[in-house]
Structure 1
Amino acid sequence: MRKKSFQLALALSFMAAIAQAQNPGSNHGNRFEQLGTMLQDPNVYRSASGAPGPKYWQQRADYDITATLDDEKQKLTGAETVTYYNNSPDPLTYIWLQLDENEHDPKSDNNSFDESSMSDKMSMRSVNALLGNADREFGVKIVKLTDENGKALPYTINQTMMRIDLPQALQPGQKFRFKVEWWYNISDRMVQGGRGGYEYFAEDKNYLYTITQWYPRLAVYSDFQGWQNKQFTGRGEFALTFGNFRVSFNVPADHVVGATGECQNYKEVLSPAQFQRWQQAQTTKQPLEVVTLDEAKKALAGHATARKTWVYEAQNVRDFALVSSRRLVWDALATNVEGKKVMAMSYYGPEAYPLYNRYSTKVVAHTLKTYSKHTIPYPYPVAISVEAANGMEYPMICFNYGRAEKDGTYSEATKNGMIGVIIHEVGHNFFPMIVNSDERQWSWMDEGLNTFCQFLTEQEWDNNFPSNRGPAHKITDYMKMPKDQLEPIMTNSENIIQFGPNAYAKPATALNILRETVMGRELFDFAFREYARRWAFKHPTPADFFRTMEDASAVDLDWFWRGWFYGIEPVDIAIDSVKWYRLDTKDPNVSKAEAKAKYDRNAEHIARTRNKAAGVPFAVDQDTSLQDFYSKWNRFEVTAEDKADYQSFYAGLSPEEKKLYDSKKNFYEVSFSNVGGLVMPLIIEWTFADGTKETDRISAYIWRKDEFHITKVFAKDKEVVAVKLDPQRETADIDEANNSWPRVATPSRFEMFRQKEGVRGASTGGNPMQKAKK
């Protein structure tokens, strides 16, 4: 399907989902209908099972890059030779490249199409956005573009995209090699923003360079949308083609470089002592500093004029990124991941040393092992965490945050935030670096799936880890927001208002609910691993994920995708009423005792009670002649005739009927309302008179014939004193006040003050460590 027709189909699907009604005006036939035309049709490229089809194809691009970092002018100059393989069935007359650094060009639309306003306190980043210009010229400058023989190629730059017009059509099965020379001024990402750039440390007059989306790189050409040429606006991330890289990066001789792939010349760029430590790190059981803290501090004082070239190679990756600075400590740990050695490594400055030296590389290793268990074995030889007051991912390398105070202490919030972001960004190696979804179109396919796996990994790191995304009850504040502040998960990145809750938290929560409540761990885990296995190093779409999860589990989940991913309705299921029934046993001992209790209850009233308490003289007591047979008659006495009648009745019962009568079953008819609209399973906790509890689980399919009101009868051996819905808060119910019978009042809280958010990566929250040190 071509891009325009695909987007039209997606738009129609979106509108259908919003309406949530294939059967308007009915109380059923909407939420449980199959997705049908809301998913693209299966074909020879993508099967109805969710697996790649028999004729699935994807393009490939190989890069040979040489680049130079100018540490005095904060400028990067590069040249690359690209070999592009047309594996599609289509002849191509042009190809599209991404120039993501052009997002910093003041003329790019992304610098003007967002609303803006003034506030009492504003950062330099906010002011620069209002000014619409900068002191330096930003954006990629193309110096030269030729074919492999040196002949100039015509090209057109449209903001962050560059089209190269080919001298002749590139036929299926052919390859095209071309060369590009370019340069750009590196932006201060602490001021201009963006995912790459530099951070300046005034105290030692040094720079930390995170070089990302830095080279002209091929956009994806796919079977489901043709060229992915949606502009890069800073939010929706990337859709990239797999290939092999060789990168030669020239930097000042006292810089340390970490990058995607494996370094080919450590012996030339490291000191003998550092190279020896690198070799020792191949077998150590604890992280070993290849570049020590003392060496990093010594490098801060000098600014070498000599230069070195670091050479890296990476196979079958979709991108390449690196870090370069003289302020870096570097440690490494050989990690066994599913029987394969992977070098888990971290790069960090002195300000992050107390946290990163203790935790970072071990968190990297833990992440690789946990994700490999839940998806596929990690296939790459390296995984790197870099502290850069940031949170962004690339193949084999990611940039994270977490810095200590000047005295080396840190808050618990900073520690947990650092661990969480390292897990998240390292985890992105799996989604989308390996399972290569289109982040421009569907942010949730990488952020949501990855956040779900992050939750699993955090919980396996520490059973008490305070995960903020994943637990069902933590998404309810978002789901109860006004409708005009919400959009379905299946919404393009640039159109989302609450990006974090929508693209990260809600899909992660949905998957956690699928695993724990709807499917069960065994079925879910098998299907999720199957999705990762099928689409590793390929380009999946949402339909491929939805179909695979059903195909591998035999669980119909269309109702779940429809509600959680295509809709904005919240979960709010209420207990309306509970009616208690007991079998009429015919036993006079039981029936007359119950009748007596009812009689006494009805006879009692306030006047009777107070008259008796006041000693009022009653006429029938003062004049006994007023008393007759009924004054002394026990209307609730069990007579011999009553007993004989019961014995005759009981003797006539079948064995099955006798078993029922002897069981003394209690029957509870419970009525439920679907107030929120999002159908979910019923999880019902019963509390009995003896203090014991029992839980029933009813499939969401109970709502299929009436999506708003249902009644269900439950037989219990013991008398029930309380009923509670969703006792473990599994379903993301936004109103727990209507989940109990009898109703239970829940106190609300109010705050006098709210704590201001700190700078990302700085120590936040209370710091008991610092207080204890004092």
Structure 2
Amino acid sequence: MTYKILPFCLLFFVQSYTQTQPWQGKFEPIDNMIAPPNSYRTASGAPGKAYWQQRADYKIQVVLDERTNTISGNETITYYNNSPDDLSYLWIQLEQNVNRKGNDDFGQFNNGLKDGITARQMQFLTRAIDFPAGYSIKYIKDSNGQAMKSMVNNTMMKVLLDAPLKSGESLTFSIGWSYPITDRSMFLLSREGYEYFPDDDNTVYLIAHWFPRMAVYNDTEGWQNQQFQRLGEFALEFGDYEVEITVPEDHLVASTGSLLNPESVLSNTQRERLERARTSFDSPVMIVTRSEAEANEKTKSKRQKTWVFKAENVRDFAFASSRKFIWDAQAVALASNTVMAMSFYPKEGLPVWQEESTKAIKNALEVYSEATFDYPYPVCISVNTSNIGMEFPMISFNGGRPKNGKMSKNARAGMIGTIIHEVGHNWFPMIVSSDERKWMWMDEGLNTFIHQRTVAERYPDFNSTTPKSIVPFMSGDKNILRPIMTTSDSEILTQFGANFYQKPTVGLQMLRHSIIGKELFDAAFKEYANRWKYKHPNPADLFRTLEDATATDLDWFFRGWFFTTDHVDMELSHVKWFKVYEAEQNIEQKKRNIQVKAGGEGKAPASNDFSNGPEVIRMNATPDNAYGGFLSRLDEEAVRQNLSGKNLYEITIKNLGGLVMPVTLEWIYTDGTSEIDRLPAEIWRKNEYVVTRTFVKTKEVKTVNLDPNFEFADTNMENNSFPKTQKESDFEKFKREAGDTNK
């Protein structure tokens, strides 16, 4: 065997070995961790030619009874089976059943007694004051009026079909139902219900996940029929809605969709103001003023009126109803359409809701549209209530309320941030319709990412999420931390905000600002949003699209950031300073001169700073046999001259936290100037734990800093600089403070 053949044999052995081992290095592909591509979902991350999804259209008539706080309705569902499968039964979501006593979800939060527990916490825990809750299903009938068989399992209802619903066919059936609307103060994670105002004996109703809705049936898991447990939200099909909402005559209704009968429910004055708002692009127009709302609070009409709304291609429908509402509206011009931004709020929201809510809607509509695609719906509504931020197509319920008309700067920022965030959910997941029941981070994380971009661009004085925000969480106890790729209801309640909102946001910020670059990343993120609008993406579709649209291998990032609980802790463990001299004959004298300058001949360079000057190195001539079979030679004299007198710095960086990241180095020179060098994450491919790199600098370096702008959520910045600072021990500090250094 000759020398030339050996490397190829060795390479073959290494390849054969690695292909047969379950190697899980940080730079290995994540193909075995995500669903494989197929004809429905391509390897590029785009929907395939065979992609399909189901559809459900609804016609609903609903009555809100304010005297009994109940809601009752009947609905007709037309369900389209676009799948290649024949279906022998259907699954219907009954989320209101989560509030029933004895429900599996009841008591899962705050489930521990303690001394000094509040009455409200005790109510959460024990339901000492009982209340009615959950659906009463009055009937399920087919299109011929014949009863259909069903079985209810907690928050899911199985509808049995006499004959399979074949692929390509549709089915129309109807359901009659009612339920008691619950007091939102009774629940820790209440997403709907009513809020009662004792001072004027009135109520604001937030009506959401209120009607039996079709569960999703898709290509990746069949029926998505996981039980609703409050934390994991919704998986829903798109469809068209025609909804008739009957409420007390003196109520105003804010709703998903376009109002079809304004002449029947609005006064002439309100209609005139609303028409004026359609061309008011600079400021909101008051449709219902404070004085009008306060007068309305006193009426308590016993008559009813019906509001009719229509919504096309939405995955859900919600509304709010109250006689307390003040109402303002403003037009927002986007590139492809004009949207009516509207806010509904009780007088308790003044003055900040009148000042800020519709403005925040406008800012969100503009930034999100620029980042993804234009908001496609005719209205975007923000409704004020307490202790909530919850989103639905075209309408959101948002907390934040002044006390005695006053609000701190932080509270105002929190209120505005909530409105932006919930409006942003119109994109994720109301249009880019990910499965919230399974992957909370896909809607909360992606939405928070653009939400924080909106805050940074439109409210620069507000605090926003940055890599620093996630450090306390990522440096926490690994025994209880969980990866981002954890299903929604499996997350620890105290951690879900950091893990499902902040950590994905910071990860996307890193990709945009420090790994891919803004221009390339923004185009890729927009590509993902447009590929999957009105469709059901999974995590693999996002990961593949970002790689496909950037030509960047990001598997190392997705593996570490999304699938592990590793953290970033890079240590700048050592920096060595060298100089190369052109003339070999004076090398020993050069060494002596440097050593004398550093403090004495024969003194070795210090290991933790630059005080002893550089080490002097000799660059020898290259022997001929080092070139192997090559006949050409380097111009070694030119190499010597180009490096003569230059400063060479050998940097050693250790990966202590487990997560590999790009490396950013800041060089601060002795003349006060500075420079930045950036190295890609791929420098860790050969060795995932320690890397050494050499840099040539004309100037002498005073300080080297790792990650100077805190781009990568490094959990320990104390080991990121050289020269290293000498930390005083606790014993030395005690002696110094005691004034006795001899003890």
How many angstroms does 1:78 deviate by? 0.7
Structure 1 counterpart of 2:708, one-letter code: P
| Structure 1 pair 266–123 and aligned structure 2 pair: CA distance change class (3 A) | farther
Find the counterpart in structure 2 of residue 631 from structure 1.
none
Deviations 1:573-613 (A, max 9, x none): 001110000012339999757634524655599xxxxxxxx
Q: How far apart, CA to CA, are the structure 1 residues paired with 2:368 and 2:530?
A: 13
Q: Give matches, 1:329-408, under 5 Å.
A: 329-389=326-386, 390-406=388-404, 408=405
Q: How far apart, CA to CA, are the structure 2 residues paired with 1:125 and 1:110?
A: 18
Question: In the alignment, is residue 219 of structure 1 matched against residue 247 of structure 2?
Answer: no
Q: Give matches, 1:692-711, under 5 Å.
A: 692-711=673-692
The partner residue of 2:59 within 52, 61, 64 is 64
**2:595·2:601 contact (CA, 8 Å) conserved in 1?**
no
| Structure 1 pair 266–656 and aligned structure 2 pair: CA distance change class (3 A) | same
Find the counterpart in structure 1 of residue 563 from structure 2.
566
Which ranges in structure 2 are unaligned for 5 or more consecutive residues? Answer: 1-16, 603-634, 730-743
SS in 2 for 1:490: coil
Structure 2 counterpart of 1:660, one-letter code: N
How many angstroms does 1:37 deviate by? 1.7
SS in 2 for 1:66: strand
Find the counterpart in structure 2 of residue 430 from structure 1.
427
Question: In the alignment, is residue 192 of structure 1 matched against residue 187 of structure 2?
Answer: yes
| Structure 1 pair 161–657 and aligned structure 2 pair: CA distance change class (3 A) | closer
| Structure 1 pair 475–27 and aligned structure 2 pair: CA distance change class (3 A) | farther
Question: In the alignment, is residue 297 of structure 1 matched against residue 279 of structure 2?
Answer: no
Find the counterpart in structure 2 of residue 18 from structure 1.
none
How many angstroms does 1:403 deviate by? 1.0
Structure 2 counterpart of 1:672, one-letter code: I
**2:581·2:640 contact (CA, 8 Å) conserved in 1?**
no
Which structure would you say has the larger Rg?
1
SS in 2 for 1:696: strand
**1:334·1:343 contact (CA, 8 Å) conserved in 2?**
yes
How many angstroms does 1:192 deviate by? 2.9
Deviations 1:173-193 (A, max 9, x none): 111111111100000011234
**1:572·1:674 contact (CA, 8 Å) conserved in 2?**
yes
Structure 1 counterpart of 2:707, one-letter code: D
Structure 1 counterpart of 2:444, one-letter code: E
**1:68·1:76 contact (CA, 8 Å) conserved in 2?**
yes
Question: In the alignment, is residue 541 of structure 1 matched against residue 523 of structure 2?
Answer: no
Structure 2 counterpart of 1:203, one-letter code: D
**2:143·2:172 contact (CA, 8 Å) conserved in 1?**
yes
Higher alpha-carbon deviation: 701-710 or 590-599: 590-599
How many angstroms does 1:122 deviate by? 3.6
Question: In the alignment, is residue 175 of structure 1 matched against residue 170 of structure 2?
Answer: yes
SS in 2 for 1:128: helix
Find the counterpart in structure 2 of residue 761 from structure 1.
none
The partner residue of 1:256 within 252, 255, 258 is 252
| Structure 1 pair 391–29 and aligned structure 2 pair: CA distance change class (3 A) | closer
The partner residue of 1:485 within 473, 480, 486 is 480
Find the counterpart in structure 1 of residue 9 from structure 2.
none
**1:29·1:705 contact (CA, 8 Å) conserved in 2?**
no
Find the counterpart in structure 2 of residue 644 from structure 1.
none
Which ranges in structure 1 are unaligned for 5 or more consecutive residues? Answer: 1-21, 606-652, 749-774
Find the counterpart in structure 2 of residue 277 from structure 1.
273
Find the counterpart in structure 1 of residue 228 from structure 2.
232
| Structure 1 pair 661–391 and aligned structure 2 pair: CA distance change class (3 A) | closer
**1:64·1:245 contact (CA, 8 Å) conserved in 2?**
yes
SS in 2 for 1:434: coil
When normalised by structure 2's length, the TM-score is 0.88
SS in 1 for 2:184: coil
**2:572·2:652 contact (CA, 8 Å) conserved in 1?**
yes
SS in 2 for 1:357: helix
| Structure 1 pair 251–121 and aligned structure 2 pair: CA distance change class (3 A) | farther
**1:671·1:711 contact (CA, 8 Å) conserved in 2?**
yes
The partner residue of 1:738 within 719, 733, 736 is 719
How many angstroms does 1:744 deviate by? 4.3
Deviations 1:686-717 (A, max 9, x none): 00010111011100000011100111111111
Structure 1 counterpart of 2:279, one-letter code: T
Find the counterpart in structure 2 of residue 419 from structure 1.
416
| Structure 1 pair 23–101 and aligned structure 2 pair: CA distance change class (3 A) | farther
**1:61·1:82 contact (CA, 8 Å) conserved in 2?**
yes
Deviations 1:670-700 (A, max 9, x none): 1110000000000000000101110111000
Q: Give matches, 1:715-726, under 5 Å.
A: 715-726=696-707
**2:579·2:648 contact (CA, 8 Å) conserved in 1?**
yes
Structure 1 counterpart of 2:30, one-letter code: L
How many angstroms does 1:743 deviate by? 2.4
Structure 2 counterpart of 1:167, one-letter code: D
Find the counterpart in structure 1 of residue 622 from structure 2.
none
| Structure 1 pair 233–133 and aligned structure 2 pair: CA distance change class (3 A) | farther
Deviations 1:636-655 (A, max 9, x none): xxxxxxxxxxxxxxxxx977
Q: How far apart, CA to CA, are the structure 2 residues paired with 1:272 and 1:542?
A: 50
Question: In the alignment, is residue 712 of structure 1 matched against residue 707 of structure 2?
Answer: no
When normalised by structure 1's length, the TM-score is 0.84
> RMSD across aligned C-alpha pairs, in angstroms?
2.2
**1:683·1:725 contact (CA, 8 Å) conserved in 2?**
yes
| Structure 1 pair 747–291 and aligned structure 2 pair: CA distance change class (3 A) | farther
Q: How far apart, CA to CA, are the structure 2 residues paired with 1:499 and 1:600?
A: 58
How many angstroms does 1:377 deviate by? 1.2
| Structure 1 pair 205–494 and aligned structure 2 pair: CA distance change class (3 A) | same
SS in 2 for 1:233: coil
Q: Give matches, 1:419-568, under 5 Å.
A: 419-467=416-464, 469=465, 471-497=466-492, 498-568=495-565
How many angstroms does 1:479 deviate by? 0.3
Find the counterpart in structure 2 of residue 609 from structure 1.
none
Q: Taking CA–CA contacts closer than 8 Å with sequence separation of 6 or more, which of the two structures ends up with the larger relative contact order?
A: 1
How many angstroms does 1:660 deviate by? 1.0
| Structure 1 pair 45–593 and aligned structure 2 pair: CA distance change class (3 A) | closer
Find the counterpart in structure 1 of residue 3 from structure 2.
none
Structure 2 counterpart of 1:675, one-letter code: L
Deviations 1:388-426 (A, max 9, x none): 1210000000011121121x2210011100111111000
How many angstroms does 1:144 deviate by? 1.2
Question: In the alignment, is residue 30 of structure 1 matched against residue 25 of structure 2?
Answer: yes
How many angstroms does 1:305 deviate by? 1.1
Question: In the alignment, is residue 153 of structure 1 matched against residue 148 of structure 2?
Answer: yes
SS in 2 for 1:278: helix
How many angstroms does 1:123 deviate by? 4.3
How many angstroms does 1:268 deviate by? 1.2
**2:215·2:225 contact (CA, 8 Å) conserved in 1?**
yes
**1:260·1:395 contact (CA, 8 Å) conserved in 2?**
yes
How many angstroms does 1:107 deviate by? 2.1
Structure 1 counterpart of 2:258, one-letter code: E
Question: In the alignment, is residue 729 of structure 1 matched against residue 710 of structure 2?
Answer: yes
Structure 2 counterpart of 1:517, one-letter code: S
Find the counterpart in structure 1 of residue 45 from structure 2.
50
Find the counterpart in structure 2 of residue 241 from structure 1.
237
Q: How far apart, CA to CA, are the structure 1 residues paired with 2:157 and 2:45?
A: 33
**1:28·1:707 contact (CA, 8 Å) conserved in 2?**
no
| Structure 1 pair 136–680 and aligned structure 2 pair: CA distance change class (3 A) | same
**1:61·1:84 contact (CA, 8 Å) conserved in 2?**
yes
Find the counterpart in structure 1 of residue 89 from structure 2.
94
**1:737·1:746 contact (CA, 8 Å) conserved in 2?**
no
**1:431·1:446 contact (CA, 8 Å) conserved in 2?**
yes
How many angstroms does 1:256 deviate by? 0.6
